[in-house]
A and B are shown apart, each in its own frame.
Chain A
Amino acid sequence: MEQTIDLSVDFAGLKLSNPVLTASGTCGYGDELAEFMDVSKLGGVIIKSITPAPRKGNPTPRIVETDAGMLNAIGLANIGLERFVHEKIPILEQLGTVVFVNVAGQMIDDYVQVVRRLSQERAIAGFELNISCPNVKQGSISFGTDPSQIRQITGQVKAACGAKPLIVKLTPQVTDICVLARAAVEAGADALSLVNTFTAMVIDIENRRPVLANRTGGLSGPAIKPIAIYLVSKVYQDVAKPAGIPILGGGGIRTASDVVEFMIAGATAVTIGTATFVQPDTATRVIDNLRNYCERKGIRSIRQLTGSLQ
């Protein structure tokens, strides 16, 4: 018996055709991936961090592989707000999927400036607030580890979003992530994104120096998945579920079963990042395999997975 499976999810007031998005910093400005897959099949894309002025980023080496992941220290390299608006928005309008933009800066005004300008663009559905990048010297993660600063920045940026939803991306590198999640939700976050990468180091034993020019970088990939699952489940139970706020989960996802795991833990939608570097069409493959999982388990709507942890 053929039955239709509904993969769509409601996420922060938006309807996504499925719960799979490509993570910020791993899908460029959205156009690069179009050569490898039908981007319109995605639940959405999250465009890499945009800052008011262009940023060159860190010196190289910017990445190094580890046994089950990789470290990156790109340093928020991006073309800046103006060029983004003129060169990339026309492309994003053609993608046929839901587009979020990750926003970064050194001061709260930087974030507000980017969001205020982009909130006028029809091609942009919402924003992801990057207060958790471990690879820049100022701003970002320093906002993300202090609940009072999270409240402040979330509140001010939310006010600049207009009707568009604001996702706050949390760093996992705090004693109690729930304190920060709660601060973001109380200040108006429409969704929580977790986790960003973990600060890590790889040393070249021949010259006793860190491999990365930035010395440290953010660890991503399969290595961090079980930690991310744990944190999603914790934030879901303690903050997101009581507040009725969705979680965008991610960290090391490579397969549909990884997505299911994140959803059971409490994620409404997920992001695929590092895996795209290896197999550019990972996200669309995962979507197809999600359908297979649902069929096998007799699940009609994938929404029923969210927070179904026993």
Chain B
Amino acid sequence: MKNGVNAGHKGVFTAEVLSNQQIRENYYRLNLRLDAIGSRYFQSAVPGQFLELDLSELPLPPEEKIPPALRDSAHRHILLRRPFSFSDVIVLPSHEGPCVKLEILYCVLGPATLRMMSLTSGTVVNVLGPLGNGFTIPKTLKRAILIAGGMGAPPLLHLGGYLKRHFSEVQTVCFAGARSCEDLPFTLKIGNITGLVLEEFDVLGIPSRVATDDGSAGFKGFVTECAGQWLSDNRPHPKDTILYACGPEPMLAEAAKLAEAFDLSCQVSMERRMACGIGLCQSCAVEIKTGATQTEYKLCCKDGPVFDSRKVVFQR
């Protein structure tokens, strides 16, 4: 039975699109206003959690707007929901209960995200969430180092804002990487001291560095190399510093190595193909170390998506 609709619970509800802005080619920022039920579910949502959208009934964008790479597969039918992290959750109190606004950054990659291009202000979408366990922020935390790879950035942007709002004494720094400048879901600008910075973190007062594999913006190389240099220079104290990473699995594996080398604890947000998002289908298995040689599968949707990097057996 639905035990009332309380914070900490999850469920299915609707949300109204407030805006769906293109931020660069194939990248969009979607703002949603959740209905009363969803707002209660999401009022205590934390960074690193996720939601699932039912995109199966959305129309395709007009033919001329479909990216050439997706024209062939555009008409494929959508059955399952699609998981998305969110980059911000804003709770507006009102006398009728909380009203939650939520921001999703997405990249048009396949037939489901392609349909999201058709979302306009006023469209109602069906949402399931909030799902999974987010990042853990211990009271003793003094320094947070965020490492974002490509579309792994949204939950770390949320984390940055969340830390500023609720843990203002924590010193936060963000490293964001992508294959190339066009694959960064952020606005770049010239910082005062450090060269290129991310506008979205700059407005939060969080220093940031950019790395691209091809050198088209910022540091040329992997974001973990960029973060590694910074760690060598700054040597944060292991006791009160945490690395928070989200991005492609090889990047997370590198972040885990980095954490080990500098004796830091590290929380990684994993990604898996999933059908249900609520622990029913058992498809989103993440291999977790349970002993020196033993492992077991945990579910990305229910036990994660955030895991302690020392426990994860990363896939090659």
Interface residues in chain A, defined as those with a beta carbon under 8 Å from any beta carbon in chain B:
25-28, 32-40, 48, 56-70, 72, 74, 77, 221-222, 274, 276-281
Contacts and interface: CB of A to CB of B under 8 A. Distances in A.
Contacts of B95: none
B176 to A, nearest CB: 26
A13 to B, nearest CB: 28
A62 B273 contact: yes
Nearest to B302: A32
Nearest to A62: B283
A130 to B, nearest CB: 15
Interface in B157-188: none
Contacts of A70: 79-80, 275
A74 B280 contact: no
Interface of B: 1-3, 9-12, 54, 56, 76-81, 128, 272-276, 278-287, 295-297, 302, 315
Contacts of A67: 76-77, 79
B280 A33 contact: yes
Contact of B283 (A28, A34, A60): A60
Given A37-B2, A74-B281, 14 more contacts: A36-B12, A57-B285, A58-B285, A60-B283, A60-B285, A62-B273, A63-B283, A65-B78, A66-B79, A72-B283, A74-B282, A77-B297, A277-B80, A278-B56
Counting from the closest, the 8 A-B pairs by CB-CB distance are: A63-B283, A277-B276, A62-B283, A277-B275, A67-B77, A38-B1, A32-B279, A61-B273
Q: DSSP class of B's interface residues: helix, strand, loop or mixed?
A: loop
Contacts of B54: 278-279
Contacts of A281: 12
Contact of A280 (B12, B287, B297): B12
A280 B79 contact: no
Contact of A36 (B11, B56, B76, B79): B11
A222 B79 CA distance: 9
Nearest to B112: A65
A277 to B, nearest CB: 4
Contacts of B276: 276-278, 280
Nearest to A56: B297
A64 B273 CA distance: 8
A32 B301 CA distance: 12
A32 to B, nearest CB: 5
Nearest to A34: B1
